[in-house]
């Protein structure tokens, strides 16, 4: 019964990933999210052979692609960060500093997990640790990015950018939870680990495929009559003011964090 459910989730995940790949091409998201597309493609290739129910060669393929998958996942999250940051003009240098800070904080948080000594001697321990650390690092990066940019609600942000980052948060959050259970249980709770990881993937990819569309690329500006020259200058001045406020808020956050 448990094996049947896991294989069903594998199949559902493969279908959801295929839907994401198709939607990426159909909606034009492939041009904006090539790293995400590559991540999903590799993930689909990993799981496509799982429904056979045979351990080999799935196990060997899963191990061999652990590091490439982690690198693509990190690239996808950084790509999503810039998908949000590009809505804020004039903050490119500050955005790099903000991204560096977020990555440093989340990497430090992920490294704390390394102090959890599980004393589990298994060939699965190292690849699962990589997935566990990566999952925590990436979900924290995604959530912190969303939390920071959502403070400036007066700046219109494309709905697709928010939906995309939220889907990544769900995906990597489920990965971290599932792989943490695997480590703490010394691999004994395989069913629960697979249930959480696979269910998270099915939900995240399905929601992405259903919500990402061409309309989501439109900025949520209210409908207004054409702007006059003075109105345009006033709007531009307001935008520059918002950029300055964003930089000032970020510098204040850095000072508080570093104790300056």
- pLDDT score, position 100: 78
Q: Has residue 24 got a pLDDT over 90?
A: yes
CA distances from 129 to 54, 73, 120, 133, 176 (A): 23, 15, 11, 6, 10
Q: Has residue 64 got a pLDDT over 90?
A: no
Top pLDDT among 146 and 259 is at 146
- Using an 8 Å Cβ cutoff, are 29 and 217 in contact? no
- Using an 8 Å Cβ cutoff, are 81 and 99 in contact? yes
Q: Has residue 216 got a pLDDT over 60?
A: yes
How would residue 7 be classed by pLDDT, with cut points 50, 70 and 90? confident
Residue 204: count of CB within 10 angstroms of its CB: 23
Average pLDDT over residues 114-125: 58
Annotated domain spans of the chain: 2-258
Top pLDDT among 101 and 169 is at 169
Token pair in block for residue 25: 């091409």
Lowest mean pLDDT among 16-25, 83-92, 122-131: 122-131
Average pLDDT over residues 213-232: 63
Task: Reduce the DSSP state of residue 190 to 3 states and report it.
Answer: helix
Q: Has residue 123 got a pLDDT over 70?
A: no
Residue 174: count of CB within 10 angstroms of its CB: 22
How would residue 46 be classed by pLDDT, with cut points 50, 70 and 90? confident
Token pair in block for residue 115: 């102090």
Top mean pLDDT of 34-48, 64-78, 238-252 is at: 34-48
Q: Has residue 91 got a pLDDT over 60?
A: yes
How would residue 134 be classed by pLDDT, with cut points 50, 70 and 90? confident
Contacts of residues 126-130 at CB distance under 8 Å and 24 or more positions apart, as own/partner, are 127/62, 127/63, 127/66, 128/179, 128/182, 128/183, 129/179, 129/183, 130/66, 130/67, 130/70
Average pLDDT over residues 194-211: 94
Q: Has residue 239 got a pLDDT over 70?
A: no
Lowest mean pLDDT among 66-80, 81-95, 147-161, 224-238: 224-238
Token pair in block for residue 74: 């990190």
CA distances from 166 to 84, 128, 137, 224, 256 (A): 12, 24, 15, 30, 27
Backbone angles phi, psi at 187, to 5 degrees: 80, 5
Q: Has residue 200 got a pLDDT over 90?
A: yes
What stretches of 113-158 show up as alpha helix (H) in DSSP?
125-149
Top pLDDT among 149 and 196 is at 196
Average pLDDT over residues 3-16: 88
Peptide bond into 50 cis (omega under 30): no
How would residue 95 be classed by pLDDT, with cut points 50, 70 and 90? confident
Give the separation between CA 191 and CA 136, rounded to whole angstroms: 21
Backbone angles phi, psi at 165, to 5 degrees: -65, -35
CA distances from 67 to 131, 171, 230 (A): 9, 17, 54
85-107: string of b/e by CB count within 10 Å (b at 16+)? beebeebeebbeebbebbbeebe
Q: How far apart are the first and last CA of the chain?
A: 58
Average pLDDT over residues 23-41: 92
- Using an 8 Å Cβ cutoff, are 62 and 248 in contact? no
How would residue 223 be classed by pLDDT, with cut points 50, 70 and 90? very low
Top pLDDT among 254 and 188 is at 188
Token pair in block for residue 114: 């390394």
Average pLDDT over residues 113-125: 58
């Amino acid at each position: 019964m448990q094996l049947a459910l896991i294989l069903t989730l594998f199949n559902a995940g493969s279908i959801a990933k295929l839907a994401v790949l198709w939607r990426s091409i159909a909606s034009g998201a492939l041009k904006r999210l090539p790293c995400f597309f590559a991540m999903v493609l590799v993930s689909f290739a990993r799981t496509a052979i799982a429904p056979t129910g045979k351990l080999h060669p799935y196990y060997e393929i899963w191990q061999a692609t652990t590091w490439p998958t982690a690198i693509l996942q990190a690239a996808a999250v950084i790509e999503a960060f810039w998908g949000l940051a590009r809505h804020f003009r004039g903050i490119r240098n500050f955005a790099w500093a903000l991204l560096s800070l977020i990555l440093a904080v989340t990497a430090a948080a992920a490294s704390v997990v390394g102090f959890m000594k599980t004393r589990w001697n298994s060939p699965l321990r190292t690849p699962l640790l990589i997935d566990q650390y990566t999952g925590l690092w990436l979900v924290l990066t995604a959530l912190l990015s969303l939390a920071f940019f959502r403070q400036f609600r007066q700046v219109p942000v494309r709905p697709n950018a928010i939906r995309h980052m939220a889907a990544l948060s769900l995906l990597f959050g489920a990965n971290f939870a599932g792989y943490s259970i695997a480590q703490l249980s010394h691999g004994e709770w395989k069913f629960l680990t697979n249930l959480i990881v696979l269910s998270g993937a099915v939900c995240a990819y399905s929601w992405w495929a259903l919500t990402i569309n061409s309309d989501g690329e439109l900025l949520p500006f209210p409908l207004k009559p054409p702007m006059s020259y003075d109105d345009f200058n006033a709007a531009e001045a307001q935008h520059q003011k918002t950029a300055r406020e964003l930089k000032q808020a970020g510098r204040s956050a850095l000072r508080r964090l570093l104790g300056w």
